[in-house]
Structure 1
Amino acid sequence: MGDAPEADLHVDAELVARLVLSQHPDLDGEVRRVDSGWDNVMFRLGDDLAVRMPRRSIAVRLLRNEQRWLPELAARLPIPVPVPLRIGRPAPELGYESPWSIVPWLPGVSALAYASSAGSTADDSDATAEGLAAFVAAMAVPAPAEAPPNPYRGVPLTVRDRDVRPRLASGRLRDAAVLERVWERSLAASEWAGPPVWVHGDLHPGNLLVHADGRLAAVIDFGDLTSGDPATDLATAWLTFGPRGRGAFIARLAARVDVDDATWERARGWAVVLGAMLVDTLDAASPLGRLGADVLARVVAEELGED
């Protein structure tokens, strides 16, 4: 198992260069492949731009959601996000049948890579907690009825129970009995009673860019953007931080918005959902597979009073 499913859309630097020259010739420049994620592949275009290309057909709808909603969201977010500057059209004549986006090149390194290279975690920088708390607070405002639906994010935890139970029983998760205790308590917490709010949906450290000093530089990959329970995004307290950073994040968020105990219980449950998914579906040696194991270990340590 790797970090991403097999691609069904062929994308390379030569294709991207032809697409840019054909549709946006005023932005023509050197194209260099940067990275490939679960659904998309990113190319740098010159010094200041990047091209975001779906590598799977299933991601086309997600990219359209970004193109539709990111310009509106970015206007009130305190952290840079990859707002599409130009929209690319499908070009069957060039061998590519998906829309695509030209976005700003956002400097920084992923918080996941930062932790690996520095031999540390975001716990070492209160600045990460400060920026992420500001982003989460600004994000969690009532969303319009037209916000994109997502059957896996922002939903009541009971919807995810059918996924979590088999994973807890699979034998692939360490301390499954402790995790089950956390999960049951999360399920028992009262459901979100407020209006559906905007939810990033995938707020893990691989989607956070940080500066060399740990300050949050940007939040990327809004493919899972939806509305619903803000607890989904609050799970970043366990996805991104160990004990010290988590405490700093919670304190800084509390200075901006009120989060009740039930919402934090659900957020902890979302950490179990996402951590278990990563461990169960990815190679344990891959960066996201290791992240999943780390997230579950943080939840267990907190539950046992060991962090």
Structure 2
Amino acid sequence: MPKLHHDEVDIDPEIVVALLAEQFPDLVVDDLVEAEPAGTDNVNYRLAAAGEELVVRLPRKPDAAPGIAKEVRFGRLLGSALPVAIPAPTRVGRPSATYPFGWSVGPWLPGSLPVEGTASGELAADLARFVRALRAVDAAPHVGDAMLTSYRVEPIAPRFADTDAFLPRCEGWIDVPAVRETWESIKHVEPYEGPPAFAHTDLQPGNLLVDEHGRLSAVIDFGGLAVGDPTVDLLPAWQLLDADTRPRFRAELAVDEPTWRRGMAWAITIGVVALGYYAGSGSPLVARSVYQLEQVLLELA
């Protein structure tokens, strides 16, 4: 498997089969297939065992490892409150001599990934309902929990330096001068003044599953779950939707202008850093980042 990070560990089917045999010998492997496309933080294998369809989830690198424990801890709390399926790990694997992190096994969630620019208004409404339901979960008892911290729910100002540093790496992929001008015009956003709320923080198309009708059926990868400013969960507006479907998403969430502009600023900084980091890697995040940056430019043109 091609590696995306300098600190990424080795993961291959032989390692996965050995982990299962060592720690969960009752799961007799009938079939094991790497799920495509591979995630940037985790690798998922679709496992057929004794008539069950399961997913084996393994972090690629050290800073992704805590996400497994987070999904285990909060999956049950959130699962009953959300309108679509989310990961629900049923087994937690231990580090071993061949693999250094905790890992998990849970039910396989069926569905396909939505394609940027092709989402319907109904999918836009589905996404808004998911965001509303997640924000409605009482976050007060979890404020200050170290497991639920993330730069993506904090003020955007600390992102200024990284955004400026990564912009030159985006040459050849986007109109860098236009993105720079737009970023300068929008980055000084009004701060969030609402109560701390749950945010998924990474609702990009690779973490969304849709059914055969194009409706949202599941949201995966809760490794970035955090409590704070939930504005970052507006990002599907530019990462997936287009000029025709964005208004439906915004209307369903009743987003005011300062919050919407803060969301666009997050779309720029996250898009620039992701594009600059993964450019040339073959990661799907390259095309997705180009799309979201182009959508922000289009909206603000």
TM (norm. structure 2) is 0.86
Which amino acid in 2 is paired with 1:22? E
For the pair 1:98 / 2:101, whether they are aligned, the reply is yes
2: CA distance, partners of 1:81 / 1:27? 22
Deviation at 1:81, TM superposition (A): 0.8
Which amino acid in 2 is paired with 1:20? L
Is 1:178–1:303's contact at 8 Å kept on the other side of the alignment?
no
Alignment correspondent of 2:86: 81
- Secondary structure of the equivalent of 1:227? strand
1: CA distance, partners of 2:76 / 2:125? 23
User: Superposed, which structure 2 residues align to 1:125-164 within 5 Å?
Assistant: 125-141=120-136, 142-143=138-139, 144-145=142-143, 146=145, 148-164=147-163
Q: How many residues are paired up?
A: 289
User: Superposed, which structure 2 residues align to 1:168-247 within 5 Å?
Assistant: 168=167, 172=171, 174-247=174-247
Deviation at 1:43, TM superposition (A): 0.8
Alignment correspondent of 2:118: 122
Alignment correspondent of 1:42: 44
For the pair 1:63 / 2:71, whether they are aligned, the reply is no
Alignment correspondent of 1:166: 165
Is 1:17–1:28's contact at 8 Å kept on the other side of the alignment?
no
Which amino acid in 1 is paired with 2:29? G
- Secondary structure of the equivalent of 1:110? coil
Alignment correspondent of 2:34: 33
Deviation at 1:34, TM superposition (A): 1.9
Bigger mean CA offset, 265-274 vs 33-42: 33-42
Which amino acid in 2 is paired with 1:233? D
User: Superposed, which structure 2 residues align to 1:209-288 within 5 Å?
Assistant: 209-254=209-254, 259-283=255-279, 286-288=283-285
Deviation at 1:213, TM superposition (A): 2.3
> Unaligned regions of 5+ residues in structure 2, if any?
none
Alignment correspondent of 1:53: 58
Alignment correspondent of 1:118: none
- Secondary structure of the equivalent of 1:153? helix
- Secondary structure of the equivalent of 1:300? helix
2: CA distance, partners of 1:230 / 1:67? 21
Kindly provide the CA deviation profile for residues 159-217 of structure 1, in whole angstroms up to 9, marking residues without a partner as x: 21111223346672644454345434543332111222111111111111112321112
Which amino acid in 1 is paired with 2:42? N
Is 1:192–1:229's contact at 8 Å kept on the other side of the alignment?
yes
Deviation at 1:287, TM superposition (A): 2.6
Which amino acid in 1 is paired with 2:20? V
Structure 1: 4+ residue segments shifted above 6 A? none
Deviation at 1:39, TM superposition (A): 1.9
TM (norm. structure 1) is 0.85
Deviation at 1:72, TM superposition (A): 1.4
Deviation at 1:299, TM superposition (A): 0.8
Which amino acid in 1 is paired with 2:126? G
Deviation at 1:24, TM superposition (A): 2.5
Which amino acid in 2 is paired with 1:40? N
Is 1:3–1:288's contact at 8 Å kept on the other side of the alignment?
no
Is 2:207–2:219's contact at 8 Å kept on the other side of the alignment?
yes
1: CA distance, partners of 2:65 / 2:272? 26
CA, structure 1 residues 184+295, in 2 after alignment: closer, same or farther (shift >3 Å)?
Answer: same
> Unaligned regions of 5+ residues in structure 1, if any?
116-120
Give the CA RMSD over aligned residues: 2.3
1: CA distance, partners of 2:194 / 2:217? 30
Which amino acid in 2 is paired with 1:48? E
- Secondary structure of the equivalent of 1:238? helix
Kindly provide the CA deviation profile for residues 125-175 of structure 1, in whole angstroms up to 9, marking residues without a partner as x: 223112211111111245212262444311111121111223346672644
Is 1:54–1:100's contact at 8 Å kept on the other side of the alignment?
yes
Which amino acid in 2 is paired with 1:279? L
Deviation at 1:238, TM superposition (A): 0.7
- Secondary structure of the equivalent of 1:132? helix
For the pair 1:296 / 2:293, whether they are aligned, the reply is yes
Which amino acid in 2 is paired with 1:38? T
- Secondary structure of the equivalent of 2:285? helix
Which amino acid in 1 is paired with 2:34? R
2: CA distance, partners of 1:186 / 1:251? 21
